[in-house]
Structures are given as C-alpha cells and as structure tokens.
Chain A
C-alpha cells in the first residue's frame, strides 16, 4: 500500500465504517486502512480491542504500532501464545500493547501453523519481548526468527517437548540429564569474553 493515497483512503474508511451497525474500533480501522488484507479479523469483546494479523507482515504492523503517532504503543506488556488444538492454524501468538501517552491498549494476535511454527521476533522493537519470546519458545516450540538467544528460560537444556502444548500430558516424566561441563554454560551476550577451556598456564600474560 503506497503512502500517497493514504489520507483519501482514511476518509473513505471512516465513511464506510459508519455504514455497518457496529463501527470498527479506531485502531482496527487505522490498521485496516494502512495494511488492508493484513488484518484478518478483529473484535472488541469485553472492551479489549483485538486485531488478528498475518504472520508475513507482522513486523511492519508492529513497527507501525510502535512508531505512528496515532498508536504510539511504547509498552510491550505481554507476549504469549495459545494452543487452540484441534483448530487450525493451531497456535496463536498473543501480544498485549499499551500506550503511555495515548492511554489505550491493543491485543494483537498472529495465527501460527503447526507445520512451521515460526514468527518474526519483535525483540528489536521492544527489548522487553526478549525473555517473553524465550519463554514462549520453550513452552510452545514457536521459533522467533531474528532472536539471537533462544536458550530455555524457565526450563533447562535437554528438556524434551514443549510443556504448554495441549498434547503434552501433565504428568509426563522427563529423563535425567547429565551434568554439563562448566565451560559450556557461560554465555555473556554482547560483552562476551571467551572463557578458556583449560586454566591458562602461569606467566602467559606477560
């Protein structure tokens, strides 16, 4: 959708929205005018405004929601997923946003299929999403493209399966994992300093 015809479309959108019995909530209308087919569905059940968007263009939508002055969603409140088995697409990524300046909230849902559980990471837009995505990854097995560090957060390396999927039985036993060597466990992110496998022999620093 090009930028030139946006104002005209917006006006048209407002006129059209007045026609049906229930007008679209303002943010949904804004997103529909800017992204058209990307908005698959919407509702405002119990007063929580919700849009469902396609996975392919979710990054565009999220950066629009963060940067546009009419949305200005500065707080990424919550990121999680829902397993809707046996419905297809099976998973839904659910993101709750909050704007401190404009005092509104929005729930954005992204359907994720079981065959390719993969979505774009929104960690670069809101650093808050970092750990939420790690948790979502281990609990539901949804992969976040572009996330640099998807280590398990609440579980451990070697945990089998994804516990919050509906087909993971509650009482399932996990195998014992062997103790890991100490040197493998260090990960210091951006300020990484390699830890030597062997203690450095004395006098090497000279």
Chain B
C-alpha cells in the first residue's frame, strides 16, 4: 500500500532528475505537459503546463450572436456536451427571464443525466485502463455506447450534439424514446455492474488507487474543487441539491460522499453517481408531462413556419432572430450547473445587443490541474497516472 513519501533533500548530492511527461503522452488525456524533478522515482516538484488546446472560446463568443455560441459549447467538455448546451441555454434564459416549458425541462434533465453517466464511464473506464485493467475500459465503453446511441437518437450526433436552444430544445424526444431509454438503462446498469465486479476486489487495482492523490477536505475547498472530487473529499456539495435548477428539486436522489479524498474514493463516488443518475432518469421519464418542447417567447424563439410564410410579423420576427440573434436586456447573469466533473458555470454579460459582451465559462478542471503538484509531490512517478485519471481532465473545457 502506497502512502505519501515526504520530500527529503538528496543525501548523496546527486542532481535531481528532470523529466517531462507530455504533451503527447497517452496518460496525459490529450495535451498537458508536466515538468518534474525526480529523486529516484519520487516526485520532488511538478509544474503543469497547459494551453495546447486553447481555441479562444470567449473571443469567438464575443464575435458571435447569442444563438451561434451553442455549437461551441459542445466542444468544451466533449464527453458530456449536453450539460454544457443546457448550462449555456439556462444562463441566457436567465438574462431574458424566460423559462423553458416543463416538458423541455424534463427532457433536459434526462439528457443531462445521460451525459453525466457517459462522462463518469469515460473517466472511470480510462483510469482503470491506465492502471492495467483494459477489460473494464471495454465494458464501460460498451455501456457508454448504449447511451450515446440514445443521444444520437435525440440529437442526431454522438458528441457534437448542439441540442439545447435558448428557450427550449432543438426537438422533442422522438417517438418510442422512453421505451428505448428504459431498455438501454437496464443494459447499461448490467454492464456497469459487470465491469465493477471485475475490478473492485482486485488487489492490484485497489493498491494503485488507495491512499494515492489525497487532498483533504479543507485543501479541496481552498483549491476551489467542486463536483465528484469535492464529494470524494467528504463535502456533500452538489449544485443539483444546493441551487436546484430545471426540475431537480422534484427528483429523489442521494449524494454519495467519500471519506479520505483519494483516487479510490473518486472512483467509487463516480460509480455511485452513475446509479443515482439512472434513478433520476427513471423518475424523470415517469413524470414527464406532455406539452411543448420550446417556449413561445417572440424574443427568443422563431415563429412557426406557417407564420413565417403567412404574415409579415412572423416573417420579420424570423428574420430578426436569425440575422441579429436574440437580444437579451442589458445585464449580467451567472448560472451554475452540475457538470460531469464539477461546477460548470456560464457568466454572460449583455449590453442589449445581439452579441455578448462577455461569455465566460468556469472550467471546473482548471482547479484540479492547478492542484496536481500538491496531490503528486511525494508520490512515485507511476502514481501520476491514477491521480491524473481521477481528476477527469478534459482538455476542451480546461483550455476553452
């Protein structure tokens, strides 16, 4: 069982070894570079360097119309794009003061939770694979595939979903979707249990994760941790419960918390959240009311086709929304949602025009990568792999 080995000065006067991992390294989940100094295999210091995937999301957003930003939000956290879609839509809806109809909100909850499951499956599957359990990865990816087919059924794409809209969703859930959903959820549940059974009593796996990458409750809070990492450290902080949005206040679910905040806790918290998300989806599907999938506010939603082609007001509304974009009243709004790996929040500022003055997304994994040195120093170099796997760094969101 590994435990943190404190740094001590080198006894025999040798130079510490300088080593770089990344940016193109399979364990770096994309493109992050760590410059490290090693004493033997123990990490003495670490300096993460990011920015290889910076695309200028904010600059692009400031040069786009409000409704043109939606596809860019897919590319932030690309393993749970629907949560970003919905988060952005909710932030702009807050500016407008409009609300999506109840059915659209239930649909959003279902799609967000599906995304959360795929996010956690990707993270846990990949971190299991990186410590040697390839079969678990294959099992979790199989489970993820069931869900991505559901996402494809609704949005037409697996990753670049572009599904939420300001004031509603791009389309209603297709016919027969709820039956398909139940069937797929059962399959996913079964596959996840099978995958877990392979690994959760495996000594090699447990030894690699237990007591590795511990960050205490207090330090986690100070580092601005949110989401599964903060819950693994023992703080039951979940925005779905804390500041309920959509219809989460009508859902009955539990918030799993860990005890020590090590990599194993993070793994287990995510596994439990998958179960809770499945429960939420089942409740939402059962409670789903009939109705519209978008609001009828003329400021945000294009008129019906028969109005566009049938009368001048409809035509003008359509033209203005498409060409100028919806124009929120001047002001600012901050909307946090519970993303796959923490608080994803959009901070939008409007001056009353069709283009945002500022469209900022709070990246939850920025805090995690910033805390990597604190979690890694004193550990063996091999421990970077489970630690970095457990923080679920997503390059698109980290660097925007």
Contacts and interface: CB of A to CB of B under 8 A. Distances in A.
B14 A205 contact: yes
A153 B18 contact: no
Contacts of A154: 50-51, 54, 399-400
Contact of A185 (B16, B35, B58, B59): B35
Interface in B41-84: 44-47, 50-51, 54, 56, 58-60, 62-63
A128 B367 contact: yes
A164 B159 CA distance: 28
Contacts of B7: 191
Interface stretch (A10-18, A19-27, A74-82): A74-82
Contacts of B13: 205
Interface stretch (B195-203, B316-324, B343-351): B343-351
A128 B224 contact: yes
Given A186-B35, A191-B45, A205-B12, A82 B95 contact: no
Interface in A161-206: 163-164, 166, 168, 170, 185-193, 195-196, 200, 205
Contacts of A156: 51
Contacts of B54: 154-155
Contacts of A190: 45
Contacts of A100: 221, 235, 237
Contacts of A196: 15
A188 B360 contact: no
Contacts of B333: 45-46, 48
Contacts of A76: 224
B59 A193 contact: no
Interface string B237-265: 10000110000000000000000000000
The A interface, classified by DSSP as helix, strand, loop or mixed, is loop
B94 interface: yes
A193 B343 contact: no
A48 B334 contact: yes
Interface string B10-37: 0011111010000000000000000101
Nearest to A48: B334
B221 to A, nearest CB: 5
B381 to A, nearest CB: 15
B357 interface: yes
A193 B347 contact: no
B132 interface: no
Interface in B149-182: none
Of the listed residues A46, A155, A164, A170, the one surrounded by the most CB atoms of chain B closer than 10 A to its CB is A46
A84 B358 CA distance: 9
A50 B331 CA distance: 12
A203 to B, nearest CB: 12
Contacts of B243: 105
Given A154-B399, A166-B62, A185-B35, 4 more contacts: A131-B369, A155-B51, A191-B37, A192-B45
* 7 closest residue pairs by CB, A with B: A128-B224, A191-B45, A188-B45, A154-B51, A154-B54, A78-B362, A131-B370
14 contacts: A46-B331, A74-B221, A77-B226, A78-B347, A107-B332, A128-B223, A131-B366, A131-B369, A155-B51, A166-B62, A189-B45, A189-B47, A191-B7, A193-B37
